[in-house]
Structure 1
Amino acid sequence: MDAYDDILRDGFDEYRAFVNPLIAQRAKLAREPIRVVRAEGGLLVDSEGLVIEDFHGTQAFGHRNPAVARAVRAFLDSDAPSWYPSRVNPFAGRLARRLCERTGHYDNVFFGCTGSDAVEASLKLARALTRKPVLVGLAGAYHGCSYGSVSFMAEGYLRDPFVPLLQGATSIPFGDVDALARVLAGGDVAAVLVEPIQGEGGVRELPPPFVEALCDLTAKHGALLIADEVQTGIGRSGRGFLATEAWPRRPDVVLMAKQLGGGLLPLSAMMTKRDLFVRAYGREFAAGESHNNTMGYNALSMVAGLAALDLITGELIEYIRRTGVYLRERLEAALGSSPLFREVRGAGLMLGVQLNPPDHPWLSFEHFGFPDLAHQSVASPLVCHRLYRRGFFCFTCGHDWRIFRLQPRFDIPRETLDRFVDATAEAFAYVEGLT
């Protein structure tokens, strides 16, 4: 680590000065653990020696997972090229085959670097295939920060500065079957884009009646059903490799990212059927490259993805399911008597804890000098602030500040979860004491 001592000493301040002062200021005000200097045993350690359990969701295998790191290191020690000028990359071919075999349904993969890349690929596929103008999302959605993704974002600071947005993009109320039927009845919808469990929207799972209607009506009206599994996929829901495996019909397109690169390399994937891809882009000889990105097919990321797939066993997915049930029950038992507690929601190791707003006139962002946030609850940020001090990095949902999201590493021990529940109960008691 000596080679990076100067970066770990000065780089945090340089980030504030030269990258994004607004993020740096927010993190400092929230007292988030910023000065993280090393990863150890899948955990983080800051400059004061605080050991941090990351519940943010991107590091499903723990920080710097040794199996993924070994695979990346072995590739760098080889003489294999990472980028192929023809774009025909054998490492991409191998990872695509493995992903298709793992899902047992899809047989075509587009690779990108981020979830937003995968979303953009799916929207363009839908338009190219159907030649229809309308793209439908759900209220409360979060699909990334590119223009197509932002067009389905909930209204607010993450969306409003960028209008006008993608022409033809529209949203319907979450879980509203009648609204879905109405928008599809027009016959001009290219695709419906959904998250099986909304993350930033408040860890909201699609209601089963809506899923049934979604699967039936999109097929009936010739619209692609796109499932954004960037957060729920690759085992996190505990319901299979993908959360949508048990849906009445498999989505036409499924999107993955985050943990797909093993936590070390940026990697995303859009999976579909080869027939759909060829019909969309096969009308003209050169159209196969009409949607592309330069570094999405780099071999180094593919190697990390292959190593990550090796870690996702059936036994691990079952552990995720059982551990999610355990964590939910422990939280409900420990917090159930608190006036702040509303419910635990979600599935597997994608859970959210909803709080009731504190009943006190000065416990508000407006009182703290942030009138633009007067409509948001201070409840979840206050609890997360307390949890940071106990070494647990949790995250308030971006569209609903009453809820904090829990997406820990897949192999997190139950003893650690017990400590987390105790810390959460203490944080609730502290906030209650403020009222």
Structure 2
Amino acid sequence: MPSIEQTLREGFDSYRRYVNPLVSLRAELLGEPVRVTETRDGQLVGERGPVEDFHGTQTFGHRHPAITAAIQAFLDSPSPNWFPSRVNPFAGSLAEKLCARANRTLEGPRDAYSNVFFANSGSGGVEAAIKLARASTGRPRILSLDGAYHGCTMGSCALMKKGMFRDPFEPHLPAVESLPFGDVDALARAFAGGDVAALVVEPIQLEGGVRTLPSAFIEAACELSARHGALLVADEIQTGLGRTGRFLASECWPRRPDAVVLGKHLGGGLLPISAMLTRAELFERAYGKHYAAAEAHNTTFGGSALVCVAALATLELLTDDLIARVAELGARFRKRLSDALSRHPLFEEVRGAGLLVGVALHPSDHPWLSFEHFQVDGLEGIPSIGVLLCHRLYRRGFYCFACGHDWRILRILPRFNVPEGVLDTFLGAIDEELAYLCSLA
């Protein structure tokens, strides 16, 4: 078996050859900090020095000592990781703590979450919600919103915004319909047929451009889904677990969603795990008819002991005080971003909540800044400005990303324990790099 050091020397080239050549080529062309070989104080370290990761999977920075120690302690123990009966005490403990934490803001037991399904990815959690909705209601239709990003498996992909992430895989899951974003009238018409099993929404569409659901649409979604007996599903894979300054972004909605999906940093950035929280009566309606029905939806390694240990350690770190810091620091950071960038003609606005931040840019009409100029086939007419700004920021040690469905928007998701000095440095860097791009445009 090769050593860790050998893999870090040779494995990057093997990835390019055997896994996904175009991903490697894209990273090279954009100048992404690819060859990172260690972590230090929560940051990545690569050939050009330290890199601050703003992707959002590493809530406490890369390889947080407490989460690493919990995983190591489990590996040093004699406990089994996989329980063939699927009666897993680590999954039970994590489910209990997740429900208790999610229910803390409720005034009473009504609508409290009391059942959890564990999967290996956010896509798997969304799949679980789709199947729960159809099995518990006996209805076919699943509604989503234009601009959505719910995952890359076949069921979750059907909910995706039309385009490069969805179109190649048609035909999709039948009876899935995408509604215009924030359109209350379209939502009412969709529910009028009485055959809707679920409405699946993100409280803030991250890949869709960091777009917050309008309050009028949320109110209508809560009322219409309840009146018509359909499930309201909140995909909080990117907004949940404190990211917006609340444990759940949907906890302030007029009614609790019937199911909420969590993922991304639930495993502390070290291990893959997602969770779908719902009410026990819905789970029983879907899977409680007999013993065989209880096995109708499962996943072999979902909620294995090791990933649950990582998630339990993550929840220990995710205190109320830390989430309050996310809300306060995020509000300050977004205001300072807006103040700093407002002088630039390519700047439009800052969006988001907590430490979920979007920087919206105006597309440049200069031909030298187009994908056509860079001879990138298939991207004609798509704005390049967000990708170009990311490219400039990589050189400054910041790993930023453009939104998957709207490349005019930078998505910036700092770790919750990021030092304020790091954000100060980033503010200076993005101000200077956007000024440079404006000078070219």
The normalised TM-score by structure 1 is 0.98
Q: Deviations for 1:23-69, whole angstroms, at most 9, x for unmatched residues?
A: 111111111100000011100000x2410000001001100011100
Q: What is the aligned partner in structure 2 of residue 99 from structure 1?
A: 98
Deviation at 1:359, TM superposition (A): 3.3
Mapped partners of 1:267, 1:199: distance in 2: 20
**Partner of residue 44, structure 1:** 44
Partner in structure 2 of residue 75 of structure 1: 74
How many Å apart are 1:153 and its aligned residue?
1.1
Contact 1:137/1:172 (CA < 8 Å) preserved in 2?
yes
Query: Which residue is 1:18 aligned to?
Result: 18
Aligned letter for 1:150? Answer: C
Maintained 8 Å contact 1:114/1:268: yes
| Matched position secondary structure for 1:421 | helix
Matches within 5 A, 1:108-257: 108-238=115-245, 240-257=246-263
Task: Give, in whole Å, the separation in 1 of the partners of 2:135 and 2:333.
Answer: 44
Distance of 1:42 and 1:144 partners within structure 2: 27
Alignment match of 1:410 (pick from 410, 413, 416): 416
Match of 2:295 among 284, 289, 294: 289
CA-to-aligned-CA distance 1:130-154 (integer Å, 9 cap, x gap): 1101000000000110011110111
User: Quick one: distance in 1 between partners of 2:54 and 2:303?
Assistant: 29
Write the mapping of 1:412-427 to structure 2, written as runs, cut at 5 A.
412-427=418-433
- Is contact 1:87–1:297 with CA below 8 Å preserved after alignment? no
Matches within 5 A, 1:292-303: 292-303=298-309
Question: More deviation in 197-206 or 368-377?
Answer: 368-377
1:311 and 2:310 matched:
no
- Matched position secondary structure for 2:127: helix
Q: How many residues align?
A: 432
Q: Please, what is the CA RMSD of the aligned residues?
A: 1.0
Correspondence for 1:260: 266
Cα drift, residue 232 of structure 1? 0.4
* Secondary structure in structure 1 of the residue aligned to 2:207: coil
Deviations 1:118-169 (A, max 9, x none): 0000000000001101000000000110011110111111111000000111
Deviates more, 1:367-376 or 1:413-422: 367-376
Give the aligned residue type for 1:42: G
Classify the secondary structure of the residue corresponding to 2:87: coil
What is the rounded CA distance, in whole Å, between the counterparts of 2:381 and 2:200 in structure 1? 27
Structure 1, 364-373 or 378-387: larger mean CA deviation: 364-373
CA drift at 1:285: 2.6
Matched to 2:53, the amino acid is D
C-alpha distance in 2 between matches for 1:372 and 1:18: 24
Structure 2: runs of 5 or more not aligned:
104-111
Matched with 1:34 is 34
SS of equivalent residue, structure 2 residue 368: coil
Misfit runs of 4+, over 6 Å = none
8 Å contact from structure 1 (residues 366, 372) kept in 2 = no
Cα distance in structure 2, aligned partners of 1:297 and 1:155: 32
> Normalised by the size of structure 2, how large is the TM-score?
0.97
Task: Work out whether residues 349 and 407 of structure 1, in 8 Å CA contact, stay in contact via their aligned partners in 2.
Answer: yes
User: Percent identity at matched positions?
Assistant: 58
Structure 1 residues 254-289: Cα deviation after superposition (integer angstroms, max 9, x where no partner): 000011001111110000000100011112331011
**CA displacement 1:354-397 (0-9 Å, x = unmatched):** 00111313321122112421231111111100100000000000
Residue 65 of structure 1: aligned partner: 64
3-state secondary structure, aligned to 1:241: coil
